Amino acid sequence: MLNFAAIDFETATTDRGSACAVGLARVREGRVVERWHWLCQPPTGPEIDQINQRIHGISPADLVGAPSFAAVAGEVWGMIGLDVVAAHGASFDQSVWEASWRLSGFAPPKFEWVDTVKLARSVLGEGNASLPDAAAALGVPFVGRHHNAADDAETCALVLVALAARAGAETVDDLRAAHGGLSAQPEARVGSDAQRKAAQNWHQNRKKDKPKDVDWTQVRSGEWLKGHVFVFTGFLNAVATPDAETLVARFGAEVGQNVTKKTTVLVVGDWDGPPTKKRQRADELIAAGQQISVVDESQFLGSIGATDEELALLAKDR
């Protein structure tokens, strides 16, 4: 299946460590199922070069009150999970990701990157290097505005899906095997013991959004998940969000990308800030009489009896 994440960064200056916006799109079975956009304080400081501002339209005023890159990066990391990360010109985005982490005082998490510029040139031929050109050559409508991080990430995702269809590839690995595009191998897979330990260390002092108390002490089997509709929000420590979604799906539950009137369980991970939009929506529906169980990560994992060994096998199986 064609599952991956696509990312795009905008920077405040020519310094690769000056990330000021991040866009992310999640693809499942060849469809963009969710996208995110974050503004953040550049690790290099509040200055934005005029040329950069003309390109992406982000001004210093837009960043007033925005979270730090470090706060945003933890959430981005959790959303990516075990996915291969696609970017159009991946060497740039990878260098921004890593430099911005280092300037924030942390070692950057490593991912497996795939470059849609290299893939487009291989599949379509030379002359299709820019994202708008690649999209036009594939008949993919450009989403929104070029150099909006979320719009570029989603368009990059659609380009990769179209390239796979053009090449007859069913997975990202199949496409890379035939046409290259691998930007860099990760030093360690996200989801490994070392990465999980790093995530736990990163978040151990973060303020938790405490969910409502729910007595799930009698539930020790995954069988109860059947018929429920799960939604996840925030950063999960022991298991990445895509893996948690896979886990509940294996037990017969449905997974929703947003809290709706069908949602029955909201799993709340770490979150440094005001309640997420998903949590806010859940509280609104609960106040209106809907039955939604709001639980934290430890309650969720305890309710299904998931052991560290089982989580490790889940990560290995993806």
Residue scoring higher pLDDT (190 or 151): 151
Please check the confidence at residue 196 and state whether its pLDDT lies above 80: no
Torsion of CA 37, 40, 44, 48, to 10 degrees: 80
**75 occurs within a structural domain:** yes
List pLDDT tens digits, range 131-163: 999 999 999 999 999 999 999 999 999 999 999
| Per-residue 3-state assignment (H helix, E strand, C coil) for 34-49 | EEEEEECECCCCCCCC
Alpha carbon distance 8, 90 (integer Å)? 9
List pLDDT tens digits, range 257-316: 889 999 998 988 877 667 888 888 998 999 888 888 888 877 777 666 655 555 555 444
What's the total number of domains in the chain?
2
Q: Are residues 177 and 240 in the same domain?
A: no
Do the beta carbons of residue 238 and residue 199 sit within 8 Å? no
Please report the pLDDT score of residue 88 as a whole number. Answer: 94
**156 occurs within a structural domain:** yes
Q: How confident is the model at residue 178 (pLDDT cuts 50, 70, 90)?
A: confident
Residues 23, 27, 30, CA angle at the centre, nearest 5°?
140
Q: Are residues 24 and 141 in the same domain?
A: yes
Alpha carbon distance 93, 113 (integer Å)? 10
Please report the pLDDT score of residue 23 as a whole number. Answer: 97
Residues 217, 258, 295, CA angle at the centre, nearest 5°?
15
Burial (Cβ within 10 Å: 0-12, 13-18, ≥19) of residue 251: middle
Q: Are residues 119 and 19 in the same domain?
A: yes
Phi-psi region of 183 (alpha: psi -120 to 50; beta: other; left: phi over 0): alpha
pTM exceeds 0.85: no
Alpha carbon distance 278, 292 (integer Å)? 12
Do the beta carbons of residue 34 and residue 257 sit within 8 Å? yes
Residue scoring higher pLDDT (277 or 35): 35
**290 occurs within a structural domain:** yes
Q: List C-alpha distances in Å: 150 to 117, 135, 144, 145, 304.
A: 18, 15, 9, 9, 35
Please report the pLDDT score of residue 235 as a whole number. Answer: 77
Do the beta carbons of residue 121 and residue 131 sit within 8 Å? no
Q: How confident is the model at residue 53 (pLDDT cuts 50, 70, 90)?
A: very high
3-state secondary structure of 147: coil
Q: How crowded is the C-beta side of 108, counted as CA atoms within 13 Å?
A: 19
Segment (H or E) for 22? strand 19-28
Torsion of CA 182, 186, 187, 189, to 10 degrees: -140
Please report the pLDDT score of residue 188 as a whole number. Answer: 35
Q: Are residues 66 and 126 in the same domain?
A: yes
Residue scoring higher pLDDT (269 or 27): 27
Q: How confident is the model at residue 246 (pLDDT cuts 50, 70, 90)?
A: confident
**141 occurs within a structural domain:** yes
3-state secondary structure of 247: helix
Q: What is the CATH number of the domain that holds 43?
A: 3.30.420.10
Q: Are residues 168 and 92 in the same domain?
A: yes
- List the domain range (segments joined by +) for residue 262: 208-317
Q: How confident is the model at residue 42 (pLDDT cuts 50, 70, 90)?
A: very high
Do the beta carbons of residue 86 and residue 156 sit within 8 Å? yes
Q: Are residues 215 and 168 in the same domain?
A: no
- Sequence-ordered list of residues with C-beta below 8 angstroms from that of 64, at least 6 positions apart, any chain: none
Do the beta carbons of residue 226 and residue 254 sit within 8 Å? no
Q: Are residues 264 and 221 in the same domain?
A: yes
Please report the pLDDT score of residue 28 as a whole number. Answer: 94
- Sequence-ordered list of residues with C-beta below 8 angstroms from that of 25, at least 6 positions apart, any chain: 5, 6, 7, 32, 34, 35, 36, 150, 153, 154, 156, 157
Give the residue-averaged pLDDT of 167-172. Answer: 91
Please report the pLDDT score of residue 93 as a whole number. Answer: 94
Residue scoring higher pLDDT (182 or 284): 284
Q: Which of 22-31, 104-113, 204-213, 284-293 has the highest mean pLDDT?
A: 22-31
Give the residue-averaged pLDDT of 119-127. Answer: 83
Q: Are residues 11 and 82 in the same domain?
A: yes
Alpha carbon distance 127, 131 (integer Å)? 11
Q: How confident is the model at residue 206 (pLDDT cuts 50, 70, 90)?
A: very low
- Choosing from 184, 218, 246, the residue where a domain stops is 184
The single-letter code of the amino acid at 227 is G
**127 occurs within a structural domain:** yes
